[in-house]
Structure 1
Amino acid sequence: MKILLLTKKFPYPLKDGESQAIHGLSKSLSELGCEVCLLAMNTSKHFFAGSTLPEQMSHYREVRTVNVDNTISAFDALGNLLRGTSYHISRFDLPAYHDSLTEWLLEETFDVVQLETLYLSPYVNTIRKHSEAQVVMRSHNVEHEIWERCSANISFAPKRWYLQHLTAQLKEYEQQQLNQYDLLLPITRRDESYFKTLGFRGESYVLPIGLETTCGEPRYDSYARPLSLHFIGSLDWMPNLEGLQWFLNDVWPGIHRRFPDLEFHVAGRNMPPSLQELRMKNVIIHGEVESSCDFVAAHSISIVPLLSGGGMRAKILEAMSLGRVVISTSIGLEGIDAKHRRDLFVADTPTQFVEAIADCLRRGRKLERIGRAAAIRFHKKYDRRVLAEKLLVRYHKLMRTAVEA
């Protein structure tokens, strides 16, 4: 089977959830005998300047890129506001990418063209015009819902109004596109149900994130040392930054008062200067770390304080695969099949975070049992190879149905 992936960023390095999700599935499909090709936007925000592909991308039969300047422009944003079109989408609807896609589709035949996120949906008509491939949308999130949650948490009224207006345009666009695909791949059952309430009537198949466990086997030596907390995530993604700031401002003071010796270690890409220069007692700022595996493995407790966002959090799965004890908000845990106090902890308020940490400390070395349960749960539910095998069966069924029609 020949599959062409369309992505809104160059999916490397593998340090964010979107890149990890794309990598895990594409590599697994390749291992199962598919020819997987990639047409990636090489954006100014996530620019890849290398002349040769990284070894981790050797599973692609071919990779092509289109250089894209998607810098946020106040002038362009105003233009979209006046036209009533979605600025979120228009930043990725680009003539050069349409041209590159058309050229490739005219050169060879693909069985499936897989769109990675809603932001590739402007290219559906180009695919239909030049190919008979099945068009599949892999929805990493309900996109407008992320922005609804973000805007609701903004206190500055003009900014909140503007984001709510952009979000309404994005929601309208997302609804309009729902029934344009031959197959929709929501990342959770909850997202699938929500899409149906928005008017989706087509074929869907729930495909959770499947990660490659590049960090190796779980490590449990950290449980023999004094416990410490960590946070890691891309801090140019608004929900990550918003959640971390909430944790530092509203949650950490109460934790520090009760457990004055406990340390909180913070790492992440594109960390804003305000965090790099932060000075809080027992909060250690690392910035971007060389090895996320080593960083996560060094600290037994993983903090995921998301207040907005959607889909599934790859960082939770990565922490579980390493045998970490995750303490997450309910929003952060959406779509992940794990049980409170067996595989991880759920906390939504400052008091609940304090109590979850107190529970961890009371358990002492026995806390390792939850870390081990988390690792077992990950391998049972979110192994990339198992998920890809099931998807490939669904793709063959999709193609048979298209032939019969």
Structure 2
Amino acid sequence: MKKILFIIPCIPYPLTSGGNQAFFHMVDYLRHKMSVSILLYPKGKEKKDVEKLKEVWDNVDFFIFTEEMTEPETRHPFYYKWLKKIALSTTRKMRRQLLTHDKDVVRKDMTLTSSIFEPLPSKYAEYISTVSRSGFDIVQVEFYPLISLGYLLPGDVQTVFVHHELRYVRNENEMTFLDKVTDEERMLYRIGKDFEHSALQTYKHVIALTEVDRQMLIDFVGGGEKIYVSPAVVKIADACDKQVVPTASRLTFVGNEGHYPNLNAVVWFCQDIAPCLRSQGFHFTFQVIGPWRSSYIKELQAACPEMELVGYVEDLHSFLNGSIVLVPIRIGSGMRMKILDAVSSKAPFVTTTKGVEGIDFRHEEECLKADSVYEFASAVIRLAGDKDLQVKLASQALGKLQKLYNPQEMLDRRLAIYDQILEMK
């Protein structure tokens, strides 16, 4: 069996984000077709998640880099750790003090400043360099925070970068929501775009999640023959057994606040769309699924008292069934797992054009699309008041998902890409 090493910056378990789901389902399939290894860097409580993942993936080899490996040699290790905790605590408090004077949510969380090259911990880089030279046929890196690894990986293996979200596109989207773009922000955008362009060229192959992203990547870096499309996968095995359960008022959103496009979407709904719904006499509950614990919450719940924080849901598809899923996404690229989750739950959804970009779901056929506050609110009210439309959209969306994004076919497609890559060796 061919040997593949996956390197990712996050712990893909539990399945609390779209990125985790996309990675988990793909590896869960590939581990029976290839000799799979995964290199992780767990921090704090994430170590427990890694141990659980090891139980699930009993035939995967794990390379674990820990925080302890980064600790320098000191005369008094415990005293050093105590001082480090104080320094981190002081940094957090200083940041909170600064943020109290900055109410611009976009600037607080936008990715411009994190899109340029940032050195990785030196011992982590050395660990990756050593492990990646241990006889693998393919070394695959996923997610933008590790894109710079292309400069580090060995030249005698097939290197792959999976681009879940084109960063320069996301930065462009975020900048459109600023009242005024500063000269420094324009500079950071150009530096980040140049870095992304150069970093992508250090990989021998790039995988995008949608054809839209693939075409943008070809225009961006060229080399179309080595840029592939491999959509994300969700499980739909039991979706056909579900019934569409219409609702008149229950709205849901899936996504954690750590991903800024999610935060932007919820802020837009709470501050702009929800008041528009209320002004038209529409009564609703808005259930937000995923970790939301930041300082924004009180402000958002004050603007939208209908918002309920649900947290992590064990059976997401059962929870979404019987709701209208909202996808008011205005930023980013890639494939929205929250849409695939809605469809797999037999739940109708309302989205923006950006939210459904790259997925072949049509307005009035598989979903409702709206891009302005009034249009989005009107679409929600219309769908909530029409049970037949809910059944129609949810049923037709599932049929389209089974036809175009059949999980087994998507998994087989990824394996075929690896076979093609290995033939080039």
Q: TM-score band, normalised by the shorter chain?
A: 0.7 to 0.9
Distance apart, 1:308 and its partner CA = 0.9
Structure 2: segments with no counterpart, 5+ residues: 71-87, 96-111
Contact 1:134 1:399 in 2 (8 A): yes
CA-atom RMSD, angstroms?
3.0
Question: Which stretch of structure 1 is more off in the superposition, 90-99 or 368-377?
Answer: 90-99
1:27-38 equivalences in 2 (<5 Å) = 27-31=28-32, 33-38=33-38
Distance in 1 (alpha carbons) for counterparts of 2:42 and 2:119: 11
Distance in 2 (alpha carbons) for counterparts of 1:93 and 1:56: 29
Q: Give the secondary-structure state (helix, strand or coil) at the position aligned to 1:22.
A: helix
Instruction: Give deviations 1:306-357, integer Å, cap 9, x for gaps.
Output: 1111111111111111111111111111111111111111110112113312
Distance apart, 1:86 and its partner CA = 6.9
Instruction: Give deviations 1:14-52, integer Å, cap 9, x for gaps.
Output: 111111111111112123x211111123256x8344572
Alignment match, 1:82: none
Contact 1:37 1:60 in 2 (8 A): no
TM-score in terms of structure 1 length: 0.84
Distance in 2 (alpha carbons) for counterparts of 1:29 and 1:92: 31
Alignment match, 1:314: 337
2:175 is aligned with 1:151 = yes
Contact 1:227 1:299 in 2 (8 A): no
2:193 is aligned with 1:171 = yes
Distance apart, 1:120 and its partner CA = 2.4
2:154 is aligned with 1:96 = no
2:209 is aligned with 1:181 = no
2:325 is aligned with 1:302 = yes
1:74-223 equivalences in 2 (<5 Å) = 87-88=114-115, 90-91=117-118, 93-106=120-133, 108-128=134-154, 132-155=156-179, 157=180, 162-201=184-223, 203-213=226-236, 219-220=242-243, 222-223=245-246
Contact 1:219 1:297 in 2 (8 A): no
Contact 2:318 2:345 in 1 (8 A): no
Distance in 1 (alpha carbons) for counterparts of 2:183 and 2:145: 23
Instruction: Give deviations 1:281-307, integer Å, cap 9, x for gaps.
Output: 661322413435167425421011111
Question: Which stretch of structure 1 is more off in the superposition, 263-272 or 169-178?
Answer: 263-272
Alignment match, 1:79: none
2:370 is aligned with 1:340 = no
Distance apart, 1:164 and its partner CA = 4.2
Distance apart, 1:142 and its partner CA = 0.8
Q: Give the secondary-structure state (helix, strand or coil) at the position aligned to 1:42.
A: coil
Alignment match, 1:81: none
Distance in 1 (alpha carbons) for counterparts of 2:227 and 2:183: 34
Distance apart, 1:179 and its partner CA = 2.5
Alignment match, 1:373: 396
Distance in 1 (alpha carbons) for counterparts of 2:326 and 2:50: 37
Residues 309 and 218 of structure 1: CA distance in aligned 2, closer, same or farther (over 3 Å): farther
Instruction: Give deviations 1:241-296, integer Å, cap 9, x for gaps.
Output: 11111111111111122243333222331332332561356613224134351674
Distance apart, 1:126 and its partner CA = 2.8
Distance apart, 1:362 and its partner CA = 4.1
Distance apart, 1:379 and its partner CA = 2.6
Contact 2:288 2:311 in 1 (8 A): no
Distance in 2 (alpha carbons) for counterparts of 1:13 and 1:299: 24
Letter in 2 for 1:144: Y
Distance apart, 1:2 and its partner CA = 1.2
Letter in 1 for 2:206: L
Letter in 2 for 1:52: E
Distance in 2 (alpha carbons) for counterparts of 1:303 and 1:40: 33
Distance in 2 (alpha carbons) for counterparts of 1:198 and 1:4: 27
Contact 1:4 1:37 in 2 (8 A): yes
Letter in 1 for 2:142: E
Contact 2:132 2:154 in 1 (8 A): no
Residues 126 and 281 of structure 1: CA distance in aligned 2, closer, same or farther (over 3 Å): closer
Residues 92 and 332 of structure 1: CA distance in aligned 2, closer, same or farther (over 3 Å): farther
Q: Give the secondary-structure state (helix, strand or coil) at the position aligned to 2:228.
A: coil
Distance in 1 (alpha carbons) for counterparts of 2:369 and 2:306: 22
Letter in 2 for 1:395: Y
Alignment match, 1:65: 64
Contact 1:211 1:382 in 2 (8 A): no
Distance apart, 1:115 and its partner CA = 1.1
Q: Give the secondary-structure state (helix, strand or coil) at the position aligned to 1:141.
A: coil
TM-score in terms of structure 2 length: 0.81
Distance in 2 (alpha carbons) for counterparts of 1:292 and 1:270: 18
Alignment match, 1:8: 9
Letter in 2 for 1:61: V
Distance in 2 (alpha carbons) for counterparts of 1:48 and 1:163: 37
Letter in 2 for 1:41: Y
Letter in 2 for 1:109: G
Question: Which stretch of structure 1 is more off in the superposition, 345-354 or 282-291?
Answer: 282-291
Structure 1: segments with no counterpart, 5+ residues: 76-84
Contact 1:236 1:271 in 2 (8 A): no
Distance in 2 (alpha carbons) for counterparts of 1:239 and 1:210: 21
2:51 is aligned with 1:52 = yes
Of 247, 252, 267, which residue of structure 1 is paired with 2:269?
A: 247
Alignment match, 1:353: 376
Contact 1:330 1:348 in 2 (8 A): yes
Alignment match, 1:388: 411
Distance apart, 1:124 and its partner CA = 2.2
Distance in 2 (alpha carbons) for counterparts of 1:265 and 1:51: 29
Alignment match, 2:74: none
